[in-house]
Homo-oligomer: A and B are copies of this chain.
């Protein structure tokens, strides 16, 4: 590998390293003549300024870190892609932090901001990996930061959200409208804000319809397919089987549908299934999955924009950017049997 430095370019084009730097950073300060000469030398050698030298001097890294529990997940993948695209446009690079649900790794990635390796951070987990002192305003203690998907319990943080409770309520209402009264819920991971909100929405919709909440119909999951499979198996064993199942994620709904097919249930004639997310595979399932759509690309794009705003030294207009969800009715839900 080459190790051409700014000095090489300087001597090759007969100017000082200051002028080389200016040619790159503020070309308008350099005479056309010199500029040309310098640019030529740069091109000939393939010189790329060493980012560390520059960063050390400017105290800016040009990076942002993304902290996510699992990028394999289609929801997260969709979001990160929009982030990357938006970051790239603004000249930032994305450092990928897949935490695999380990706190230690979360901390590790947060430290990249503390150590100056990234200028800002996007957090998709419910924990704030920075220690706060109570005697100072929080905004002064935190780096540029945006939180999404799993809300951190702190009102001073910039967030991009959807209304999970209303989304869940809409899902259940859709089922109620179809005549279902025995509606199961397959939850996400214990105590995650998104699951808590969706559960609240589920309960609210039932309560409003004067239907009693039945604990047996509420199953714990973890948003992944496998847990949807298991949850459905449990539900099928119940004496009073549900006629409809609201899964808090599409992945779990997909798992649930697999179980139903396995035991020869017809969807939706025997049992309706509705998901949450609208990942790209949902419309490709058999039957096509009815779900609550999260605007993944928009979430990613907005996260990055709010972060960029902070990175530029501005205060974003609002702490919370709320994006709309949407009920997408497809084929996996239908009228209650009989």
Give residues in A with beta carbon < 8 Å to B. 1-2, 46, 48-53, 55-56, 61, 63, 70-72, 74, 77-78, 80-81, 84-85, 88, 93-96, 98, 100, 105, 108, 111-117, 131, 141-143, 225, 254-255, 257-258, 261, 280-281, 284-286
> When the two chains form their complex, are residues B77 and A72 in contact, meaning their CB atoms are under 8 A apart?
yes
Chain B residues with CB below 8 A from A85, complex form: 98, 100
Chain B residues with CB below 8 A from A142, complex form: 1
**Please, how many angstroms separate the alpha-carbon atoms of A142 and B61 in the complex?**
25
Chain B residues with CB below 8 A from A284, complex form: 225, 254-255, 258, 285
Give which listed residue, B52, B131, B143, contacts A55 with CB less than 8 A.
Answer: B52
> When the two chains form their complex, are residues A131 and B46 in contact, meaning their CB atoms are under 8 A apart?
yes
**Please, how many angstroms separate the alpha-carbon atoms of A111 and B84 in the complex?**
17
Most chain B Cβ neighbours within 10 Å, of A88, A95, A254:
A88
Chain B residues with CB below 8 A from A88, complex form: 105, 108
Chain B residues with CB below 8 A from A112, complex form: 51, 93
5 closest A-B pairs by CB: A48-B115, A286-B286, A96-B96, A52-B56, A51-B117
> When the two chains form their complex, are residues B117 and A52 in contact, meaning their CB atoms are under 8 A apart?
yes
Chain B residues with CB below 8 A from A281, complex form: 254, 281
> When the two chains form their complex, are residues A50 and B285 in contact, meaning their CB atoms are under 8 A apart?
no
> When the two chains form their complex, are residues A61 and B52 in contact, meaning their CB atoms are under 8 A apart?
yes
Give which listed residue, B1, B78, B111, B131, contacts A143 with CB less than 8 A.
Answer: B1
Chain B residues with CB below 8 A from A46, complex form: 114, 131
Chain B residues with CB below 8 A from A63, complex form: 95
**Please, how many angstroms separate the alpha-carbon atoms of A111 and B47 in the complex?**
10
**Please, how many angstroms separate the alpha-carbon atoms of A111 and B108 in the complex?**
26
Chain B, Cβ-Cβ closest to A55: B52
> When the two chains form their complex, are residues A84 and B72 in contact, meaning their CB atoms are under 8 A apart?
no
Most chain B Cβ neighbours within 10 Å, of A1, A74, A100:
A1
Chain B residues with CB below 8 A from A94, complex form: 95-96
Chain B residues with CB below 8 A from A280, complex form: 72, 225
Q: A46-B131, A81-B98 are in contact. List 20 more A-B contacts (CB 8 A).
A: A1-B113, A1-B114, A1-B141, A1-B143, A48-B111, A48-B116, A52-B55, A53-B56, A70-B81, A71-B77, A71-B84, A85-B98, A88-B108, A93-B112, A258-B284, A261-B286, A281-B281, A284-B285, A285-B285, A285-B286
Chain B residues with CB below 8 A from A56, complex form: 50, 52-53, 56
**Please, how many angstroms separate the alpha-carbon atoms of A63 and B72 in the complex?**
21
